[in-house]
Structures are given as C-alpha cells and as structure tokens.
Structure 1
C-alpha cells in the first residue's frame, strides 16, 4: 500500500482514528490539544514517537471507549523525534492515522516566546530565532508528510480552537451545549447561569387549587401557563434574542452555557417555559440542548 492509499484509508473511517499533533513550538499545540479534548478525544501530550505503538495497542484494548486518540509529539522528545515519519508510516498500515502540523511565521513565534518570557526549547545559548530556525530544519520532513497544515500566524487562541473544532468534530456533532435550567427565585439564583429570565410576570398556577399539587411537567399546567397573556410572545422573542448569542458562543469556541429560567418556587412556570425554550433552541445548527429542573423536587 502506498502512502497515498494509507492516507485515504486513514480518513475513510473515524472509528479508532489517531491524530498526531505536531509542529513548531509556539504555534498552538497546547491550544489544539485542549480543543480536541473538549471534543471528546483522548489526548496524550509530549509522547516520544517510539511510545506511539504501545499506546495505540493499549487504546485498542479499550475498543469503543477510546475511539479517537490525539497525541502531541514534538521536539521536546529530542533525538527520539527524528523517527516520527518512519513510525507514522508503519502505524498507518494498521490503523487510521493523520498528522496535523501547526506552523507560524518566525516573526510571530518570536513575539509569542517573548510575550511569555520563556526560552525556545532548542535555542541553547543562542537566541529565540536560532532555536526556531533549528526546529524548522528538523521538522521539514514531518511538515512535508503532514495531512493537515494549519498556519496560526493570524489566529488568537480562540480562533485556533474554533478551527480545530471545525476540522475534527464528529459529523453533526454539536459545537455548543446549552442547558435550560428552571429554578425558584426563593432558593437563590443559579451561580453558573450565563443569563437569567424571570417568569414571575405570568400568573402563578400555585394559586389554582386544581394545579397547585401538579408541576410544569403535567399537561394541565403547561396548557395553563402557555395560555396566559404574554407567554407565547415571550418565548418567540427570547428564542430570537438567544439565537445570535448562541451563534456567537460557537464562533468564540465557548462550548457550554446555562440559560436559567426562574419563577417563585421553580415548580410550575419556569419548568414549562424552560421546556418550550429548549424545543425552540434545539433546532439551531451546532447547538445541543439539555433541560434541568433544579428545584422541582423541593417542597
């Protein structure tokens, strides 16, 4: 099998996929690794190439528990790093393997090292630029054989993370998960809420003898709440207002948010409205929606 055939096989089936993350120091390997971990990849950092085969043998035993493995391999492995291209070719004969190479211009890399006030791992007694040039020479062969090359010169950390998410998310995977949380104001605001909506403008079913013992999960309460003046208008307007917010969260690589919906006790109005908003938001592209009723079981 040729290298081209190996590469084609590697991208045909995501099951058991392996991604080797490498590239220039300062180009964003840690940011990329964090983004992959947020996507559910099993990530191992700073692994010598010679340990790739044992690692993959171990993860193969886990079968579906570790279907996607990302390994950060770079010049911190010192002389061992030189064997990466040969080891990668051997691995591709038995398992889908891709290599992502992160790069940036010399000028940008110098600025990044100066900003964090750390030496380049290869500069020794020389300058940061000396270390960058030596590393670029050592990585030339690896860069030429990479499946994906990402130039991060014009990226901030959020833009790089978004790029990685876009490239390596599973098909149809959500880029953002929003939790619609109902709660009761008398028990306090949820401390992790990104935004809060107050449903106390609607009549309280608690004062209806037939509804008091029920909850917002019961059809009779749902019908009562949604029939009130302003309920439908609020849902339409709030869902429309949240749409650009959730789009923006995806662009900024904010992976999770909590939208809190409150009423007095967290039992009737907030439960109904949280459910209704969840139904609306679940149709947004790239968004997964969860519903949590924080205070539903309280007396």
Structure 2
C-alpha cells in the first residue's frame, strides 16, 4: 500500500460478526494505530492529536472501526461527515466494508452463543437483516469491500496484510538462535536444526577456544563432507516455509540451530543461514545464546552424536 504525505485514515465498518475485530487486530500487528467504536463526530479531534511519544514509528496511519453500536450511528449523517473529512487535503481517508452472507453470520452467532446487537430479544437473522439494510449505503460507497462468507480468520488476516501492509518487505520477525543442546533447548522455537553431525572443532586443540565467528573454525566445519548439502537443504526449507508463515500472518518465526556446546558449529551455521536470508530480502536477528559459555569437555563428550570425539 502506498501511503502519501497526508495522514492516512482507514474507516472500517460492516455487518456485526463479519470480521471487524480481526481486521483491526491485523492492522495493529502490521503497524497501524487502531481504535474501535470511536464516535465519528470526534474524529477530527483525534486526527489533530499528536502521536504518543512512546511510539517509535512516528505518526502511523490510523484505522477506525465503527458499527451499529457506535454512539451517534446514523448512516446518512456519517457518510456526509466522512465526505467533509475527505475534502481536507491533510487527510487521505478511505473506507473498508466487511460483508458476509446471512446464513454464515447466523452460524457464527450460533457457535459463539452471542446475541446480535440489533436483535437482543429476537432471532439473529432479524438483526442481520435490519443491520444489512442500515449499512447498504456504506457498502455501495466503500472504497474496499471484503466478503468474509467463505474466509477463515487466517484468510481474512492474509487479505488485510496483503492490501494494507505499510512496507514492501517481510512483516514477520525472524530470529535465528544458536545454542548448545548440553545447556538446554531455547523456548518458543518453531524450526529446529541439529548440526551435531558436523565435524566438531572443539576436539582440535588449535580451535577449541575459538568460536564459530572465527574463520579457522568456519573453514574446519565447511570441510565436512555433509556440510554443503546439509546447509543447502536447511536453506531450501527455511526459504520455502517463511513465505507460508508470512501469508498465514505469523508475526514471529524463531529458528533454532543447535550443536553440543553452542559455541562452534551452531554459531557458524546460524551466521551462514542469516546471510542467505538477508540476500533473499529478509532481515533476521541472530542470537548466539551460548557463545560466551565456558568450553566443557565433559559436556562435549556426553552430548555429541554417537558419543564420538571425532565429530
């Protein structure tokens, strides 16, 4: 989405149960400031309020959600007020309408056991019909219309991210953590790669006190016969999965690279994979959890694959 120098404001409305809450939460995840059920008559005051100094992203675009429960809800008056706001060149105001079939909305209300806001003492279908008639002017007038009848929450998140993303690069935070199995697994790992099958520099007296950041260690590891093929397969898998995670709306992807002590092989492999992802346009963060840990021969002997000091 191309945001001009004007303050970008997206007004989100639609039928109750069609996905407004999901849309607002998704926009917040990708950098928008969001407010739900804010009285439209107060929007100008909100737009003139400086952004919070605690935000590090300057003045983000604003998404406002409103529906039949919003104070002062009168469709014709709301449209006229929005048109006046659109005449102000300091703002770029667009509208998103979320629609959904009546049968699907009835099913959703049946599953959640919530009452429709316009049918507190009547069947949900009566409230849906009334609300649809009230919102018809908005649907005809909206800049964007998304019908969520056949969409899951994940599908809707994907459409919102695709249409309203503020950046051209990935919106998923990727972290690569090197670690030593002998010192325990990191928390919240999504993809785990065990590199203990590679030749272990720990058993070379000249390399033992070095780390995977040092060139002699990198050269030693890369000479393992399985190294090149293994790294290519790791890279292929990560490159295949990351776009899938992004499309599914996964905000964080944590990749773990483990060796025995977390100082040599895992560190080197994490750096190599990080560079590859950078070359593909991602911006991974690399953490070396055990890089400063003291080398311990007992742990290396016990934890290396097959208990073989030669690896």
Common fold, TM-score beyond 0.5? yes
Distance 2:272 2:79 in 1: 53
Aligned to 1:66: 59
Aligned to 1:290: 285
Number of residues paired by the alignment? 289
Aligned to 1:5: none
Deviation at 1:77, TM superposition (A): 0.9
Is the Cα–Cα contact under 8 Å of residues 15 and 67 in structure 1 kept in the other structure?
no
Greater helix content: 1
Is the Cα–Cα contact under 8 Å of residues 39 and 72 in structure 2 kept in the other structure?
no
TM-score (ref. length: structure 1):
0.89
Aligned to 2:308: none
Aligned to 2:298: none
Instruction: Summarize deviations over 1:160-187 as a string: whole Å, max 9, x none.
Output: 0000000011241314332111011111
Instruction: Summarize deviations over 1:199-227 as a string: whole Å, max 9, x none.
Output: 11122222223322222122222222222
Aligned to 1:75: 68
Aligned to 2:44: 53
SS in 2 for 1:109: helix
Is the Cα–Cα contact under 8 Å of residues 270 and 286 in structure 2 kept in the other structure?
yes
Q: 1:14 to 1:157 in 2, by over 3 A?
A: farther
Q: Which moved more, 1:51-60 or 1:193-202?
A: 51-60
Q: 1:123 to 1:191 in 2, by over 3 A?
A: same
Distance 1:266 1:71 in 2: 47
Instruction: Summarize deviations over 1:239-298 as a string: whole Å, max 9, x none.
Output: 11233322322332223211100111111110110111122233446x542222122222
Is the Cα–Cα contact under 8 Å of residues 102 and 149 in structure 1 kept in the other structure?
yes
Distance 2:132 2:251 in 1: 33
Task: Note if 1:87 corresponds to 2:81.
Answer: yes
Distance 1:81 1:26 in 2: 20
- Which protein has the larger Cα radius of gyration, Structure 1 or Structure 2? 2
Instruction: Summarize deviations over 1:28-70 as a string: whole Å, max 9, x none.
Output: 0111111111101111122111221121111468696232111
Q: 1:216 to 1:15 in 2, by over 3 A?
A: farther
Deviation at 1:84, TM superposition (A): 2.5
Aligned to 2:104: 108
Distance 2:132 2:280 in 1: 43
Is the Cα–Cα contact under 8 Å of residues 178 and 258 in structure 1 kept in the other structure?
yes
Aligned to 1:4: none
Is the Cα–Cα contact under 8 Å of residues 67 and 73 in structure 2 kept in the other structure?
no
SS in 2 for 1:87: helix
Distance 1:167 1:246 in 2: 19
Is the Cα–Cα contact under 8 Å of residues 11 and 96 in structure 1 kept in the other structure?
no
TM-score (ref. length: structure 2):
0.85
Distance 2:232 2:188 in 1: 24
SS in 1 for 2:62: strand
Aligned to 1:7: none
Distance 2:3 2:269 in 1: 43
* Match for residue 124 of structure 1 among 112, 116, 120: 120
Q: 1:59 to 1:135 in 2, by over 3 A?
A: farther
* Match for residue 217 of structure 2 among 221, 224, 230: 221
Instruction: Summarize deviations over 1:88-134 as a string: whole Å, max 9, x none.
Output: 22222131111111011111111111110111111133221111111
Stretches of structure 2 lacking an aligned partner (at least 5 in a row): 295-311
Distance 1:217 1:185 in 2: 19
Q: Which moved more, 1:241-250 or 1:261-270?
A: 241-250
Task: Note if 1:17 corresponds to 2:8.
Answer: yes
SS in 2 for 1:99: strand
